[in-house]
Structure formats: C-alpha cells, structure tokens
Amino acid sequence: EPEVTQTPSHQVTQMGQEVILRCVPISNHLYFYWYRQILGQKVEFLVSFYNNEISEKSEIFDDQFSVERPDGSNFTLKIRSTKLEDSAMYFCASTWSFSNQPQHFGDGTRLSIL
C-alpha cells in the first residue's frame, strides 16, 4: 500500500537555526498538509497546499514557516529561525481529493530544539 514518507525521523537543531522537514506524499495525491503534535497534546493543523500554493493556514503557521513543493515528489516544511516551542512531532499528510477523503499520514519527524 502506498505510504507517505517523512525524513528525517528525528531532527535536533539549535535554537535560531533553520530546519527543513521533508515529505514524499503518495504519488497520485494532489493535496498536501502539515500538522504538528506537541508532546502529549492533540494534532494541530498547520497548512494545506494544492496546485503549488497554500490553500489554508492556521495561526500557528506564522512568517517563520514556509512550505514548498520543489519537484514532483517532495513537499517540504521550513522553519526559518527555530524556537524552543517549535519542538514537536511534525506530520505530513496527503489526499487525492478535496472533499470527504481521509488524509494519509506519514510517521512524522520529531523536531527537538535545544
């Protein structure tokens, strides 16, 4: 069964540094998402992406965050200047249709900011 894959599985970064989290969505999917899950808390929506542009973003997704689909397979989340509170699991998800379809999630990247 096709999977969403995320790399790295664990990223340790000094506060203030830039970090790029990478995702390869399922190949025929058209809609892409990033979610965040702080330890012990619920999964929170960050951003959705379709047709090479952001469809929607939450209040968490401020100017420090950006997303990009640099080629036909990768979907990246960049945090420009990381803060301690950015430490969390970051999940990528994808789906092939806009409405009423379950999102398929990767296993996440654990981001630890020191």
Partner 1 sequence: GESVGLHLPTLSVQEGDNSIINCAYSNSASDYFIWYKQESGKGPQFIIDIRSNMDKRQGQRVTVLLNKTVKHLSLQIAATQPGDSAVYFCADHSTDNYGQNFVFGPGTRLSVLP
Counting every residue written for the chain, the total comes to 114
Burial 4-20 (b: 16+ CB within 10 A, else e): bebeeeebebeeeeebe
Over its C-alpha atoms, the chain yields an Rg (Å, rounded) of: 13
Helix, strand counts (H, E) of the chain:
0, 11
Min dist. Cβ of residue 10 to partner 1 (A) = 10
Q: Is 72 in the site for partner 1 (CB under 8 A)?
A: no
Span near partner 1 by CB under 8 A; candidates 14-22, 31-39, 67-75, 77-85: 31-39
Structure token pair of residue 88: 């969390």
Q: Is 112 in the site for partner 1 (CB under 8 A)?
A: no
Q: Considering the complex, state which of residue 34 and residue 79 has its C-beta at the smaller distance from partner 1.
A: 34
Q: Is 48 in the site for partner 1 (CB under 8 A)?
A: yes
List interacting residues with partner 1 (CB under 8 A): 4, 6, 31, 33, 35, 41-45, 48, 50, 55-56, 58, 91, 93, 95, 98-108
